[in-house]
Amino acid sequence: MLHLLNPAQRAAVQYLDGPCLVLAGAGSGKTRVITQKIAYLIEKASMDARNIAAITFTNKAAREMSERVGHLMSADRLRGLTVSTFHSLGMRIMREEARHVGYKTQFSILDSADAAKIISDSLGTTDKQLIRSTVSRISMMKNDRISPDKAILQADSEGELHLARIYRVYQDTLQAYQAVDFDDLIRLPVDLFEQNEEVLKKWQHRLRYLLIDEYQDTNLTQYQMVKLLTDITGQFTAVGDDDQSIYAWRGADMENLRKLQSDFPKLQVIKLEQNYRSVARILKCANAVISNNPKLFEKTLWSDLGVGDPIQVIECKSDEHEAELVAMKLLAHKFETGADYKDYAILYRGNHQARIIETALRTHKIPYLISGGQSFFDRAEIKDILSYLRLIANENDDPAFIRAVTTPKRGVGNVTLERLGAYAADRQISLYQAVYEEGFIWQVQGTQYEPLKTFCDFIGRMQFRAPREPAGELLKELLDAIDYETWLYDSDEPKPAESKWKNVLELVQWVTRQGEEKQRSLIEVSQTIALITMLEGRDEEEVDAIKMSTLHASKGLEYPHVFLIGCEEDILPHANSIETGMVEEERRLMYVGITRAQRTLTITYCGKRKRAGEWQITEPSRFLKELPADDIRVSGRLNGGKAEQAISKSEGRAMLAGLLAKLG
Ligand code: ATP
Ligand code: MG
């Protein structure tokens, strides 16, 4: 086992005398240290897997880590091992301890759309920008552990006071719905740990060794969770890279790396210097770019995987041309080298850049998977069904109630719903509860009341059965009962309706598997889904397809060949970041992008780009000028040359058709 590691990695794995921080650049094997250390703790230190928790940043990373550890030892010895994100760990704690923080076990988890709706209602506005900034400021306060009360006390301007009051209303609403948002999943357990010694002890006893990946992106609350859990023993290993901190907008704080050193004076810091991922040229480019940021820690990184090809930097005429060019270069490269589709990734700053690439890939029949984009669980038809599951889990979840009671339409008019809302608000009860109250029943006509009551009775019956019956079967029955398929076809064209129904069936399959393999009840499944939606998609089967991903979602991953597109001012670095002076974070994002590549890297940018229907002249990203001239091959303005000769669409198609024929 230990022979798979270099001496520094081995030292990190074997160190058990106290807290340990592995601080090192991209691709240096930090994540490998974590997987190996899990195996080491069980095999050599005779720890019970149940007492070990590895925390990763995304669900995907968690899955991958479980898999990797699974290769190292038998499933038997791994039983009970926790490999999860901070949020799923928080959810697990909440499920067990909900009553201590004023929630029932079957609380709901609100998604960001529902959260935005509550904020929008309390602000009395539909101004998206305002809603978004309010949501994020509240989230920041939560992550900084500022309660509504404290926010109100601290406010020193009219604006801040207003914000603090909105925060208070928002929090009260969540409580009334018996719902939590993503931030609460970590904040509430931390509050609880601080207030309740007994509960804290229980969890400290249970999770005796913590391993944390991507430590640079933890926020204050997450840090405090680690600190509380490891308080006595200080038994943890954190790994991270300050140059890859890219979640400041979500409250992540690189300073947590430094704080670790002051909070744990006995902290053992181990640095890794060999990169096992990328050829030297790619690494040199990455190092060159990041050297323009001020340094928090001194680090060096080298690789002996060969020099590699120069990094290609290509100017394209327009975004359409860029998409076409990437598709073409990719196919040509695949033809030359015999690589698989899955060896390629196309990375970009924002989701909106994906659409045009998708079109080009689809035209040329190149299979692709998108991660970090609109998730499966964000589709309207899926959210419809999930609203039922949420309501079954928690009848006080009002946003879910509204969605479910109106989808499919069941003869409950808007006026009735408004009356129900007013009645419930007046008495501080949920919509579901209000349906059964005399006071409300008197207010509505029988024809309006009947469908409401039928609906609530149905939910009630499902609630009773959910903990007892197989999740998949029950979901099928639910779909039959609400006749969702018919409704889809009635309310949409046949083609989209068919594809929506297919998605629903896929959900049924997924839920069935969750029920069978993980013994999850319908209620537990619905809570699990809420978490999946937060960061990325669900399990994807291993298929031969190229990966499209935002830079954020590509963290920790690696691909033989990477295309990094849209390297222009205002995109990377993002316009907002330029305005607010956050260019350093964007540079780290660029660093993350470059360091995903193992063997080849192609960077593209456009001369002009269509925005809101208008052509705009664009400038190459400032980061491109930071690349070392000797290691890149440029075509375009960057070195005063011309943009890559644009290929007309028909020429392109003909060339590709030829290539595809050869590829078989
Ligand atoms: P990132 O900062 O991007 O998360 P990382 O530091 O976590 O990167 P890993 O993903 O653990 O790096 O490792 C990068 C690659 O190098 C992986 O393919 C891994 O299997 C390989 N690797 C790590 N350590 C060694 C080693 N000692 N010998 C051979 N290969 C290694
Ligand atoms: Mg890693």
What are the per-10-residue average pLDDT scores of the chain (664 residues)?
90 95 95 96 94 90 88 89 93 91 84 86 87 91 92 94 94 87 94 96 95 93 94 88 86 80 91 96 96 86 94 93 95 95 95 88 88 70 91 91 88 84 86 94 89 95 93 94 92 86 89 86 83 54 84 93 97 92 94 97 93 87 95 76 52 62 57
28 is in an annotated binding site: yes
Both tokens of 418, joined, read 């408004």
590 neighbors 624 (Cβ within 8 angstroms): no
329 appears as a binding residue in the annotation: no
DSSP H or E stretch at residue 209: strand 209-212
- Kindly state whether residues 387 and 332 are assigned to the same domain: no
How high is the pLDDT of residue 62? 87
CB contact set of 352 (below 8 Å; sequence gap of 6+): none
268 φ, ψ to 5°? -90, 120
Does the annotation flag 421 for ligand binding?
no
Q: Quick check: 434 and 459 in contact, CB under 8 A? A: no
Cα(67) to ligand 2 centroid in Å equals: 15
Residue 273 appears among annotated catalytic residues:
no
- 372 located within any domain: no
Give the amino acid at 528: T
CA atoms of 162 and 398, how far apart (whole Å): 25
Residue 586: inside a domain, yes or no? yes
- 289 occurs within a structural domain: no
36 C-alpha to center of ligand 1: Å? 11
Nearest-5° Cα angle at 359, 356 to 360: 90
Given a contact cutoff of 8 angstroms between Cβ atoms, the answer to whether 79 and 236 are in contact is no
Ligand-binding site membership of 607 (annotated): no
**Look-up of token digits 């810091």:** 269
* 427: annotated active-site residue: no
Do residues 503 and 383 share a domain?
Answer: yes
> Both 469 and 514 in a single domain?
yes
CB 410 within 8 A of CB 379: no
The answer to whether 393 touches 526, Cβ cutoff 8 Å, is yes
Q: Which residues contact 255 (CB under 8 A, 6 or more apart)?
A: none
349 φ, ψ to 5°? Answer: -75, -45
Helix 319-337 × helix 649-663 angle, to 10°: 20
278 close to ligand 1 (CB < 6 Angstrom): no
Residue 659: the pLDDT is 62
Virtual torsion, Cα 33, 36, 40, 41, nearest 10 deg = 70
In a shared domain, residues 402 and 485? yes
Those residues whose C-beta lies under 8 Å from the C-beta of residue 441, and which sit 6 or more positions away, are 449
Q: Is 31 in the pocket of ligand 1 (CB under 6 A)?
A: yes
Beta bridge partners of 561: 344, 600
Return contacts of 643-647, CB within 8 angstroms, 24+ apart: 643/315, 643/316, 643/317, 643/607, 644/314, 644/315, 644/316, 644/317, 644/325, 646/316, 646/317, 646/321, 647/321, 647/324, 647/325, 647/328
Instruction: Label residue 534 left, alpha or beta by phi (over 0 means left) and psi (-120 to 50 means alpha).
Output: alpha
Q: Is there a single domain that holds both residue 226 and residue 325?
A: no
Token readout for 600 is 């080849």
DSSP state of 102: T
Closest CA to 636 of 250, 218, 317: 317
CA 551 remoteness from chain centre: 12
Q: What is the CATH number of the domain that holds 157?
A: 1.10.10.160
Q: How far apart (Å, rounded) are the C-alpha atoms in residues 202 and 51?
A: 12
Does the annotation count 450 as an active-site position?
Answer: no
Boundaries of domain holding 170: 108-177
The rounded Å distance from CA 554 to ligand 1 centre is 15
**C-alpha distance from residue 304 to each of 133, 273, 420, 564 (Å):** 46, 11, 69, 24
Among the three residues 231, 252, 272, which one is the final residue of a domain in this structure?
272
Half-sphere exposure of 119 (CA within 13 A, CB side): 25
CB-based contacts of 510, cutoff 8 Å, min separation 6? 538
Tell me which residue has its CA closest to atom 24 in ligand 1.
Answer: 29
Query: Do residues 556 and 446 both lie within one domain?
Result: no
Query: Do 495 and 581 share a structural domain?
Result: no
Is 268 among the catalytic positions?
no
How far is it, in rounded angstroms, from Cα 260 to Cα 169? 35
Question: 547 with 634, same domain?
Answer: yes
The amino acid that residue 76 corresponds to is D
Beta strand 179-180 with 632-635 is unpaired
Mutate to test the pocket of ligand 1, among 1, 243, 257, 276 (most ligand atoms within 8 A of CB): 276
Q: Among residues 155, 177, 199, which one ends one of the domains?
A: 177
Q: Is residue 280 part of a domain?
A: no
In sequence order, which residues have a C-beta less than 8 Å from that of residue 577 and are 6 or more positions away?
583, 585, 586
For residue 1, tell me if it sits in a domain: no
115, with CB counted inside 10 A (0-12, 13-18, 19+), is: buried
* 596 assigned to active site: yes
Cβ neighbours, 10 Å, residue 593: 29
Quick one: tokens of 425?
């608000």
Q: Does 28 share its domain with 90?
A: yes
Q: What is the CATH number of the domain that holds 569?
A: 3.40.50.300
Closest ligand 1 atom to Cα of 241: 2
Q: Whose CA is nearest to atom 29 of ligand 1?
A: 276
For residues 321 and 407, membership in a common domain is answered with no
Q: Are 632 and 602 in contact (CB under 8 A)?
A: no
30 is catalytic: yes
Residues with CB under 5 A from ligand 2 (ion): 30-31, 556
Q: At what angle do helices 319-337 and 354-363 cross, to 10 degrees?
A: 50
Q: Which of 31, 68, 212 to mutate to test the pocket of ligand 1 (most atoms within 8 A of CB)?
A: 31
Q: Is residue 27 marked as binding?
A: yes
Q: Which of 374, 380, 405 is nearest to 391 (CA)?
A: 405
Active-site residue among 596, 599, 609, 622? 596
Residue 338 Cα to ligand 2 middle (Å)? 28
Evaluate: CB of 556 within 6 angstroms of ligand 1: yes
CA 222 / ligand 1 centre spacing (Å)? 25
Contact call for residues 179 and 110 (beta carbons, < 8 A):
yes
* Beta carbons of 211 and 54 less than 8 angstroms apart: yes
Asked whether 5 lines ligand 1 (CB < 6 A), one says yes
Task: Return the residue matching tokens 């690349």.
Answer: 627
Specify which residues 574 forms β-bridges with.
Answer: 570, 571
CATH of residue 400's domain is: 1.10.486.10
Asked if 652 and 328 touch (Cβ cutoff 8 Å), the reply is yes
Alpha carbons 513 and 358: distance in angstroms, whole number? 30
Strands 311-316 vs 597-606: parallel, antiparallel or unpaired: parallel
Is 187 annotated to bind a ligand? Reply is: no
**What spacing in Å lies between the alpha carbon of 85 and ligand 2's midpoint?**
14
SS (H, E, C) 551-587: CHHHCCCCEEEEEECCCECEECCEHHHHHCCCHHHHH
- Indicate which atom in ligand 1 lies nearest the CA of residue 596: 3
Angle, helices 494-518 vs 380-393, to 10°: value is: 40
Same domain membership, residue 91 and residue 120: no
In a domain, 507, yes or no: yes
pTM of the model: 0.83
- As a whole number of angstroms, the distance between CA 484 and CA 296 comes to 55
Tokens read off for 226: 């680690």
Is 296 contained in some domain? no
Domain match, 410 and 460 both: yes
- Centroid of chain to Cα 250: 11
Report whether residue 384 contacts ligand 1, using a CB cutoff of 6 Å.
Answer: no
In a domain, 441, yes or no: yes
Bridge partners (DSSP) of residue 549 are 347, 371
Last-in-domain residue among 486, 514, 536: 536
Using DSSP bridges, classify how beta strands 268-272 and 20-24 pair: parallel, antiparallel or unpaired: parallel
Tally the domains of the chain. Answer: 4
In the prediction, which pLDDT does 537 show? Answer: 44
